[in-house]
Structure formats: structure tokens, C-alpha cells
Amino acid sequence: MQAPYDTETTADVFAKARNTFNWLIGHLTDAQTGTLPHDRLEETITEQGRELQRLLLQAHLDLRALRELEQVCHARHQDGAAAWVIGADGVIRRRAEFGHHRLLATVTGTVTVTRCAWRAPGVGNVYPMDVALSLPTVRHSAGLAKLAVIETVRGSFDAALAAITTRCGQVIGKRQIEQLVAQAAADVDDFYAARTMLPCTASTVLAISVDGKGIAMRPEALRPATAKAAARAKATFRTRLAAGEKPARKRMATLGVVYDAEPAPRRPHDVIAVPGGRSGRRLPRARPNATRKWLCGSVVTGPGPVIAKVFDHAEARDPVHVRPWVVLVDGARHQLDLITAEAARRRIRVHIVIDFVHVLEKLWAAAWSLHPPAAPAAEDWVAAHALALLAGHTGQVITTLTTQAATAGAQHRDGIDACIRYLSNNARHLQYDQALEAGWPIATGVVEGACRHLIADRFDLAGARWGLAGAEAVLKLRALVTNGHLEEYWTFHLARQHERVHQTGYQDGYALTA
């Protein structure tokens, strides 16, 4: 074996970095520089500072390459013994080749990694330096991947590219950002499955809520039924949709939330003011405060797997089922059936509460069946029936609405009939008097806020059409960031990535032996 350069020379690999630093000091102390405004100084220091960081990283990598070469040469020539490396396949590689290069794009710029390749006939090369540096299989570094995640979850891919280019220079393209983000989300489910939750007192409410929201997808990413509807849809107009027409381009994403809440008992008029408004100085009692919120979501799977994941996380918080489990839903029948089945399978007693805000919407729809538009009396009518529902008089409200519906003209009964059906079908989940007395939450504001934050604020950008893998990755990562677990997850993800690439791959088990 012949070394490509003399390992005994003491070449200063940090010379370029030192020269750049000295030039920058000289430039800043120059008299002409003393006349520059602060913005020009910022630009100079930022650009040259990034180049200095890149040169420092490059010099360190070159130094490690020199040390690897010296180590191999020493093993080769000590006492005439031969050196070799054993790969994951058990094959001994006795031939070492120096000068193998690969590029690595980093947050400071692109550098070159020089390393030694150990070879044998008929098998792949082994690069011990790749393992020592824990290099990814792609060109882009872990730091650049993390930056891509941070920028992508807060805005569009184009905005992420612009932000990264401004900070790091031309080190990555839009397509590569999309790929890095998809790879970054690979371990989210395993990360949460491995986490240990802190316990709470037995009286703390364990609240669960699930909701869905559509995401505009590319045609190939639609579910089969939606794709068929889109294919057979015939628009009335060429340039816009007519009333009642839907574009059939969305795929439903399911979101789940788990949170803790200390009980906060209330009375009906703490939630809804009595007709005519509040009187006196007594302030309404505060509602339960959501703490330790945890979000998850998926656009690939249906609501069933998301509900199972939510129950998994809830059980991690309360493994022996001693806390009150309150499930807040909007009344969707399919969702209710899945939740009931999941709770029965796990033998967990859950208290299902229909979101009171949805009930109010139904009452308002009924009010407009009995009152003229914008009539002030409609508000008092809604308040009276809402207070009766909060007091636990659901049957009485249904009877009253039925009687009032009989006196309304047939052309005005749609809203009130829909309200009666909704209350009748969900009567057993409208026990608000018990929920208020126990101090439970009675609204799905937490998960609806999550829908707005996770989906509407990111996925509903003008003109955005999503592929399935990209939408799933961004949704999971936005939930992860919202949960405040990005730093903890990133450490977990890098460890799992190292295991996949370097311990279970072709480079596993290498050993320099002499």
C-alpha cells in the first residue's frame, strides 16, 4: 500500500481558517472600514464569519483524515503485521485505499470529507470514518436537516428554502428540503411510544378529543372515493364552482389531543348568561385549564389508528385507569363508534361529552326557524334553552322544541328539526349538569384550535396541493414542535438514524485489527 501523501509532515490544516480570521481582523481595524455603516459591517461579518466556520469545519475533517491515515499506516507497518477491517457481512477487507471523498452540505457551507475505504473483491466498501462522524446517507448534514424542519413547519417549502439560503448560502434545493423533512419524521411514532410520562393525581381530569380537517391534495394522493368523485364531477361553470359544488380535492386528516385539567366545578350560568344578561358583580367561575397538551395527527391513516394512538398516550399517563377520562367530541357518529369500541377493547370507562359549542350552533339554527332574521329575541331564546341543557333537562328541551316546531310553518322547520334530531340522537352524551358539577371541560376548543394551528395555518396556503408523504411528515412535525419536543426528539432521531445507517447497515461491526 502506498500513501498518497507523507504522513510525517506537519502541515497546518488550519492555515486557511487562520488566514481568514486574520484578514477579517485586519479588515475591521482598517481606517476605511471605520467609515462604514453598521449594515455593511453586519454583512461583512456574517459572510466572512460563515466562511470562517466552514474553513474550521473543513480543517477539522482534514485533520481527522490525516490521523486516520497515520493510524492505518502504523497498523500496516508495525512488526510487519497486516491490518484489516471486518464489515457487517463478516468479510475481512484487507485492502485500504486513501483519498476517497464525499461532499457534506452543512449550515456553514459545503465541505469535503476525506476518508479511507477498506475493500475486498465482490463486496462493498467499508468506511470507518463515516461511522465515527455518523454521516447520513444523503449529502446534507443533520444540522441542515434540523434547520429544514424548523423552517418548513412554520411556512411553505419556498419560504424555508429562502430562509436557509439567506442563512447558509446555496447549500440545498427545494426538492432536497422536502426529502429531508420526510426523513426527519420517520421516528416520531417510536419516540412517543418510548417516552415515560409524569404521573398526575387521581383527581386530575384526563381529557381526550379527536377531530378532522381536510387538506387539499394532489390527485394521486386522494382517497379512492374522493378521487372517483373528482373524476366524475362536471362543473357548471368553466372558471368557478356553482353553489353546492365541491372541488373534491381534499383528503381528511385526523387530529387527536390529550391534556390534563384540574377539576373546576361550575354552574350553568357560569357558562351562559341568563336571558337579559348578567347582573351584579359576581364573576363567572373559571373553566378547567388545559395543561400538558399533547397533539398527534395523520393524513395517511383514518381516524381509527389516530384514536388508538391517542388512547395509547392517555394510558401512558394513567396506566391503571384511576383518573376520570373525559372524551370530548362533536357528535360525528363514526367517530363516536370508534371511540366507544376502543374504550371497550381496553376496558376503560370513559365519559363522552358532546361539545357544547356544537349544541349552541344547533340551537341558533333552530332559533332562526322561529324568529325573523337578526331578531334580538332569538338570543334570549337560545340562552334559555342552553341553560336548560346545562342544567340536565335535555328531555324537557326536546319536548319544548317539538311543540314549538309544530307551530312553525313547514318552510321554516329545517333548522329546528335538525336540532331536535341532534339532541335526541346524542341525549346520553349531553349530561352537562354532571360534567359541570364534576369540574370537567365541556367544549372541544383545544382540538379545534389544534386543527387551525396544525392544518389551517400551514396546509391551507394559497395554491398549496400536497403529496401524501409530505403532508404526513409536516403534520407530524408540526405536532411535535407544538408539543415542545423537537430538541428531545432530534437526539432520539439521530441515534435511531445512526443505528439504521451504521449499525444495521453494511458498515456494522467494523474493527481495525492488526
Q: Which is higher by pLDDT, 477 or 372?
A: 477
User: Does 10 map to a domain?
Assistant: no
Joined together, the cell numbers standing for residue 467 give 403529496
In angstroms, the CA 445 to CA 355 distance is 9
pLDDT at 427 over 90: yes
pLDDT at 299 over 70: yes
Burial of 470 (0-12, 13-18, 19+ CB in 10 A): buried
- Average pLDDT over every residue of 363-388: 90
Q: Tell me, yes or no, whether 56 and 114 share the same domain.
A: yes
Contact between 179 and 470 under an 8 Å Cβ cutoff? The reply is no
What is the overall mean pLDDT for the chain?
Answer: 87
User: Does 477 map to a domain?
Assistant: yes
Q: Which amino acid is at 164?
A: I
Largest CA distance in the chain: 107
- Average pLDDT over every residue of 83-110: 86
pLDDT at 503: 75
pLDDT at 5: 45
Nearest to 355 by CA among 383, 381, 328, 335: 328
Q: Which is higher by pLDDT, 65 or 86?
A: 65
Identify the H or E element spanning 325. strand 325-329
pLDDT at 74: 76
- Average pLDDT over every residue of 485-496: 96
Contact between 104 and 139 under an 8 Å Cβ cutoff? The reply is yes
Distances (CA, A) of 338 to 223, 258, 304: 20, 16, 6
Q: Tell me, yes or no, whether 308 and 448 share the same domain.
A: yes
User: Does 260 map to a domain?
Assistant: yes
Domain span at residue 416?
356-427
pLDDT at 509: 40
Q: Tell me, yes or no, whether 205 and 337 share the same domain.
A: yes
pLDDT at 55: 95
Q: Tell me, yes or no, whether 344 and 464 share the same domain.
A: yes
pLDDT tens-place string over residues 328-339 = 998 889 999 999
User: Does 181 map to a domain?
Assistant: no
**Among the listed ranges 69-73, 81-85, 502-506, which one has the minimum average pLDDT value?**
502-506
pLDDT at 326: 97
pLDDT at 233: 60
User: Does 167 map to a domain?
Assistant: no
Q: Which is higher by pLDDT, 78 or 490?
A: 490
pLDDT at 202: 93
pLDDT at 510: 43
- Average pLDDT over every residue of 289-305: 93
Q: Tell me, yes or no, whether 46 and 70 share the same domain.
A: yes
Q: Which is higher by pLDDT, 413 or 394?
A: 394
Contact between 82 and 509 under an 8 Å Cβ cutoff? The reply is no
Q: Tell me, yes or no, whether 450 and 332 share the same domain.
A: yes
pLDDT at 282: 74
pLDDT at 502: 85
Q: Tell me, yes or no, whether 351 and 461 share the same domain.
A: yes
User: Does 176 map to a domain?
Assistant: no
Contact between 466 and 138 under an 8 Å Cβ cutoff? The reply is no
pLDDT at 343: 96
pLDDT band at 147 (very low <50, low <70, confident <90, very high): very high
pLDDT at 409: 61
- Average pLDDT over every residue of 313-326: 95
Q: Tell me, yes or no, whether 198 and 305 share the same domain.
A: yes
In angstroms, the CA 267 to CA 433 distance is 8
In angstroms, the CA 147 to CA 169 distance is 13
Q: Tell me, yes or no, whether 407 and 310 share the same domain.
A: no
pLDDT at 277 over 80: no
Q: Which amino acid is at 185?
A: A
pLDDT at 94: 81
pLDDT at 317 over 60: yes
pLDDT tens-place string over residues 171-214 = 999 999 999 999 999 999 999 999 888 888 999 999 999 999 98
pLDDT at 3: 46
Q: Which is higher by pLDDT, 456 or 21?
A: 21
- Average pLDDT over every residue of 248-265: 91
pLDDT at 505: 43
In angstroms, the CA 101 to CA 104 distance is 10
Measured distance between the N- and C-terminal CA atoms of the chain, rounded to whole angstroms: 15
Count of domains observed in the chain: 3
Looking at the chain, the whole-number percentage of residues with pLDDT higher than 70 is 89
Contact between 264 and 180 under an 8 Å Cβ cutoff? The reply is no
- Average pLDDT over every residue of 27-56: 91
Residue 288 — φ and ψ, nearest 5°?
-60, 140
Burial code of 216-246, b = ≥16 C-beta within 10 A, e = fewer?
A: bbeeebbeeebbeeeeeeeeeeeeeeeeeee
pLDDT tens-place string over residues 52-80 = 999 999 999 999 999 888 888 777 666 54
Q: Tell me, yes or no, whether 367 and 460 share the same domain.
A: no
Contact between 68 and 115 under an 8 Å Cβ cutoff? The reply is yes
pLDDT at 410: 47
- Average pLDDT over every residue of 5-31: 80
In angstroms, the CA 383 to CA 277 distance is 10
Q: Tell me, yes or no, whether 224 and 351 share the same domain.
A: yes
pLDDT at 71: 83
Q: Which is higher by pLDDT, 283 or 500?
A: 500
User: Does 420 map to a domain?
Assistant: yes
Q: What is the DSSP letter of 499?
A: I
pLDDT at 10: 41
User: Does 48 map to a domain?
Assistant: yes
Looking at the chain, the whole-number percentage of residues with pLDDT higher than 90 is 58
pLDDT band at 243 (very low <50, low <70, confident <90, very high): low
Q: What is the DSSP letter of 239?
A: S
Q: Tell me, yes or no, whether 334 and 465 share the same domain.
A: yes
